[in-house]
Chain A
Amino acid sequence: MIKAKKSVSPGGSNGDRWFKNITWLFALTVPLIFLGIVTILIINSWLSITKLGWGFLWGVQWDPLNDVYGALPFIYGTLATSLIALLIAVPLGLGCSTYLTEVLNSNVREYIATLIELLAAIPSVIYGLWGIFVLGPWLANSVEPFLKVTLGFLPFFQGPASGLGMLSAGVILAIMILPTITSISREVFQAVPQSLRESALALGATRWEMIKLAVAGPSWSGVIGAIILGLGRALGETMAVTMVIGNRSQITASIFSPGYSLAAVIANEFAEATSNLNLSVLIELALILFIITLLINGLARLLIWKTIGERTSS
């Protein structure tokens, strides 16, 4: 029927063709920008890739003035702070989303969910400011001495307490990825059919047993996806980490001591790069960060789509 109309008014169908082509061009811009970013990163880090080779990845020295470069302290700092963030945010976020979907049953639920989601809206530079002046001193004065006394026999909790270090960065990241983990695992839990819960309860299960029996099974891959998506966000976070991690390129077991992350070193040194090689090295660090986040996010999306339906191809 629509076809018939188009053939009667050729002018209209011409306009339609134009419209379709113009919107297509704009849509095409999106993958083109992505390819552009990949190309620019590879071309501009080529100098560093060819000159420094694979050794760059496990070099531990960083001295741009003498052209000595090693990426390992930054990779270590990025992974270690993200791991700390996950250790805190995963139990907290899952507990929170369980409470919201499975226990609370009223309007209060929406308010609390909104509060947690608002955390995602706060700019990272404000997290950093809060981290320097509020969280850091609190960690240095109360949390770190406590950890030293109780768990001080482990190498992670030794050394002088300071507000600026990997623990501070990890805690800030945990707060920043909490909304991601909470809201996505909430969606995943909500996708579990209500009838499964009801049958578990009808068999006499307590709420805890109901969650083990009916909710955990169908939602675990989605929950893993939510966690990995949170991880992706933590790995790429720049400003808040730069402001609290202490910015020292070293590898230490102690989480109280300062470290450095990939994003932080780019933020600090990019504008002041002294030579072409220096610039190229920093762009290679960006390429490493880019590849890590790409892999992590691809994995997360696959897992989430499996549980709450593949939205992208609908």
Chain B
Amino acid sequence: MENDWGKNFLLRKFKNYLFLTFVLICTIVAVIPLFSIIGYVLVKGIGAISLDFFYKLPTPVGEVGGGMGNAIVGTGILVLLACLLGLPVGLFGGIWLAQYGQGRKGFYIRYAADVLSSIPSIVIGIFAYVLIVMTLKRFSAVAGGFALGIIMIPTVTRTTEEMIKLVPRSLYEAGLALGLPEWKVILWIIFRTAWSGVLTGIMLAVARVAGETAPLIFTAFNSPYWTLKLDQPMASMTVQIYNYAISPFQDWHAKAWAGSLTLVFIILGINLLVRRLSKRITYG
């Protein structure tokens, strides 16, 4: 009897060790891709990057040198355009949800935001294509910015709402008690208190759309020139990396790695910064 119990105990212990080993291996395997991707981007990117890369135009096949200057600026412009659409909708929509969205209407808006965030970005690209590219009859920066703006909306809306909800109710009541109208209390007291949290949401949304390719390939398209014209095609880092990556030329592959290094640096930088900041956010 006792012997039996002992055997059983050993078996249970063995199963437990087996399980612990399995989950440990899972965790190790899960972090390997991140190190591999970052490692390759660093090593191959640093080999190909130079000062020229940041301010020169791309060169035709076979010509060495040149860079991605226009694409870096282009990504900046596209993100700014996206903010013009995404921020007002996201911020005011988020304020409405937090302040007045308790009922059925609020439920539907939230549901719509969640659904919007799950739509594949290429489908949103088609939406922008039909609305803007087909109307203007050419690829344009505006169309690209529009698509990216829509992608930003759900993230900004939901973080704004959640950050505003974290602000203690007493601040709201204190503002009203001072005789301020409600809208001033919301904008100048509640929203300002929630601002640092809201900002992290905005930064994450910016980081996400800066890395988007699919909604840009048939909206903003690509351009080999410096251009600030918003009704013309515009280069972006992601589309440029894509074109270089699928080309058969060694030199272009190197440039794709260099572009990836720049992009990863910006995007992971923003993400790590946000994580740093959001740990310190406390209210009240």
Contact = CB atoms under 8 A, between A and B. Distances in A.
A226 to B, nearest CB: 14
A312 B111 contact: yes
Interface in B78-120: 88-89, 91-93, 95-97, 99-101, 106-116, 118-120
A95 B23 contact: yes
B174 to A, nearest CB: 12
Interface residues of B, number: 97
Nearest to B241: A125
A207 interface: yes
Interface in B234-251: 238, 241-242, 245-246
- Grouping DSSP codes into helix (H, G, I), strand (E, B) and loop, the B interface class, with mixed when no group exceeds half, is helix
Contacts of A209: 12, 16
A50 interface: no
A19 to B, nearest CB: 3
A65 interface: no
Contacts of A313: 106-107, 110
Contact of B264 (A19, A122, A178): A122
Contacts of B126: 40-41, 266, 270, 283, 286
Nearest to A23: B96
Nearest to B172: A2
A119 to B, nearest CB: 5
B268 A118 contact: yes
A96 B257 contact: no
Contacts of A236: 118-123
A133 B40 CA distance: 10
Contacts of B73: none
A99 to B, nearest CB: 4
Nearest to A119: B34
Interface string A123-136: 11111111011100
B252 to A, nearest CB: 11
Contact of B253 (A37, A40, A133, A270): A133
B27 A100 contact: yes
A152 interface: no
B15 A125 contact: no
A20 interface: yes
B32 to A, nearest CB: 9
A16 B182 contact: yes
For the complex of A and B, list the 8 residue pairs with the smallest distance between their C-beta atoms, beginning with the closest: A236-B120, A95-B26, A123-B211, A12-B181, A19-B183, A26-B92, A23-B96, A31-B112
28 contacts: A9-B181, A12-B181, A16-B181, A16-B182, A30-B157, A31-B108, A34-B112, A34-B116, A114-B275, A115-B31, A118-B272, A121-B208, A122-B37, A126-B260, A127-B37, A129-B260, A132-B246, A133-B40, A206-B12, A209-B16, A236-B119, A236-B121, A243-B246, A267-B122, A271-B221, A289-B122, A290-B123, A294-B115
Given A23-B96, A126-B264, A293-B119, 8 more contacts: A30-B93, A44-B130, A95-B27, A96-B30, A103-B20, A239-B214, A267-B214, A294-B118
